[in-house]
Amino acid sequence: MARKKKNTKGTEIAQAIMEHYQPKTKEDMQEALKEIFGPMFETMLQGELKGHLGYEAGEHGYKDTDNRRNGYTSKHVKTSYGQIPVDVPRDRDGSFEPQLIPKRTRDVSGIEDKVISMYAKGLSQRDISDTIEDIYGFSISHETISEITDKVLDELTEWQNRPLKKFYTFLFVDCMYVTIRKDYETKNYAVYAILGYD
């Protein structure tokens, strides 16, 4: 059966990145992503400020609030791809509390790993979202969680299909039962840990 071709926004964005940056190595791709993440964070923060103030930037006419935009605070945040400069928008009365990059937060690198870890332990997307909100004080959408968890599936398949050596001097085999999320349901599975020493 022929594989169905995906036609998504993600594919279009990936093609645009490839055309613009023309990366040749994994390092080139990481540098391209670093350049993209900064403006992406800033656009999302602008959206948060718009929701907080209740009007678009540059919008004229009557506004329900006396609070206005008040420039930016520049800072570097640590991500999985390294340090990224981000201009965080401010408001005049200081009541804007960004959720994406909370005030005084400079490290957002651990979120993806924690989401993947919780997913592997069988937590639902709703549970993961609630846990992230409890720990970090901001919410993360189910779509974002899905994108993060889907990201590792190709790497997982590649790891599972890696070539093994033909001979190992010692093999240590153990088994434990864990709760795993698979095919949109959570079940108990026997997980075998096999250590091969050559």
Question: pLDDT tens digits for 139-180?
Answer: 666 666 676 666 666 677 777 788 888 888 899 999 988 887
Is 34 inside any structural domain? Answer: yes
Average pLDDT, the chain: 77
Round to whole Å and give the CA distance between 118 and 110: 12
Is 98 inside any structural domain? Answer: yes
Is 104 inside any structural domain? Answer: yes
Question: pLDDT tens digits for 1-34?
Answer: 455 555 566 677 777 778 888 888 877 877 777 7
**What pLDDT, on a 0 to 100 scale, did the predictor assign at position 1?**
46
Last residue within a domain, chosen from 108, 143, 175? 108
Residues 103 and 18 in one domain: yes
Residues 181 and 101 in one domain: no
Is 7 inside any structural domain? Answer: no
Residues 94 and 170 in one domain: no
CB atoms closer than 10 angstroms to residue 170? 8
Residues 87 and 173 in one domain: no
Q: How many domains does the chain have?
A: 2
Residues 104 and 184 in one domain: no
Is 180 inside any structural domain? Answer: yes
**CB neighbour list of residue 119: distance below 8 Å, 6 or more residues apart:** 128, 145, 148, 149, 181
Residues 101 and 172 in one domain: no
Q: Read off φ and ψ for residue 51, nearest 5 degrees.
A: -65, -35
Residues 101 and 21 in one domain: yes
Does residue 38 register a pLDDT over 90?
no
Is 2 inside any structural domain? Answer: no
Residues 187 and 102 in one domain: no
State in Å, rounded, how far the first CA of the chain is from the last one.
40
**β-pairing verdict for 170-182 and 185-197:** antiparallel
Does residue 35 register a pLDDT over 60?
yes
**Torsion sign over Cα 174, 177, 180, 183:** positive
Average pLDDT of the segment spanning 79-104: 82
Residues 173 and 93 in one domain: no
Is 160 inside any structural domain? Answer: no
Average pLDDT of the segment spanning 103-115: 70
Residues 98 and 32 in one domain: yes
State the residue range of the domain holding 174: 166-197
Share of the chain above pLDDT 70, in %: 75
Is 142 inside any structural domain? Answer: no
Residue type, 157: T
